[in-house]
Copies of this chain bind each other. A is one copy, B any other.
Amino acid sequence: MASLFPPSFETLIDRFASLPGVGRKSAQRLAFYILSLPEGEAEAFAGAITDARQRVHTCPVCQNLTDGPLCPICASGRRDNSVICVVAEPRDVASVERSREYNGSFHVLHGVLSPLNRVGPADIRIRELVERVSKGGVREVIMATNPDTEGDATAMYISRLLKPFGVLVTRLAYGIPVGSNLEFADDATMLRALEGRREI
């Protein structure tokens, strides 16, 4: 006998176990937790899944997640649309916004180029970015992908695509993190920090 749990409980365990990073044991624990919830809370959980899946889509302009016709940033009349900051994931938008300094628009790629994981240019939102730039009115594109091999390769690839449009393509500065300690800076970061040194 495989299990002595009732079928509808097994189904719930299977569902949780299908989530990324959730093993069989955790799935069981989560399913037990759902049973322990008041019925209204369990309904609300189910509703949140349906709701998010139905309502959330990508902004037709910047590809960020939204549940309106445009995302709040693209819908706002107070952003500088001649600058586009390109990020890999929706969560990266919040990171850039945290600087409280950036007032341009965004473009979310939903991934980075990764030959090993079979992610090619057609699998992320590069075409949409090129279209935006080709329409004109864009002065600068800031590449804000992660400072790793795949992020760098993606930034390089996109910058080559955009060069023909005569747009300035920049990328975030590499260097020692503010508040960090020189002692803990790795070789690569220190090298980039030296290369990028500025007069004070």
Q: Are A19 and B33 in contact (CB under 8 A)?
A: yes
A90, CB-defined interface residue at 8 Å: yes
A73, CB-defined interface residue at 8 Å: yes
Map CB proximity to B onto A10-29 as digits: 1 under 8 Å, 0 otherwise: 01101100011110001011
Answer whether A94 and B51 are a contact pair too, CB < 8 Å, given A15-B44, A29-B20, A33-B19: no
A53, CB-defined interface residue at 8 Å: yes
| Alpha-carbon gap, A90 to B10, bound state (A) | 12
Q: Are B46 and A94 in contact (CB under 8 A)?
A: no
Map CB proximity to B onto A21-55 as digits: 1 under 8 Å, 0 otherwise: 11000101111111101010011111111111111
**How many A residues are at the interface, by size bracket?**
35 or more
Smallest CB gap from A12: residue in B:
B52
| Alpha-carbon gap, A76 to B80, bound state (A) | 72
| Alpha-carbon gap, A64 to B1, bound state (A) | 16
Answer whether A97 and B49 are a contact pair too, CB < 8 Å, given A20-B33, A28-B91: no
Which of B46, B47, B66, B97 sits near A6, CB closer than 8 Å?
Answer: B66
Which of B6, B22, B97 sits near A4, CB closer than 8 Å?
Answer: B97
Q: Are B4 and A67 in contact (CB under 8 A)?
A: no
Extra contacts besides A11-B52, A20-B30, A35-B52 (7): CB < 8 Å:
A6-B66, A6-B67, A8-B55, A15-B44, A34-B49, A34-B52, A45-B46
A contact residues vs B (CB 8 Å cutoff): 1, 3-9, 11-12, 14-15, 19-22, 26, 28-35, 37, 39, 42-56, 64-68, 71-73, 90-91, 93-94, 97
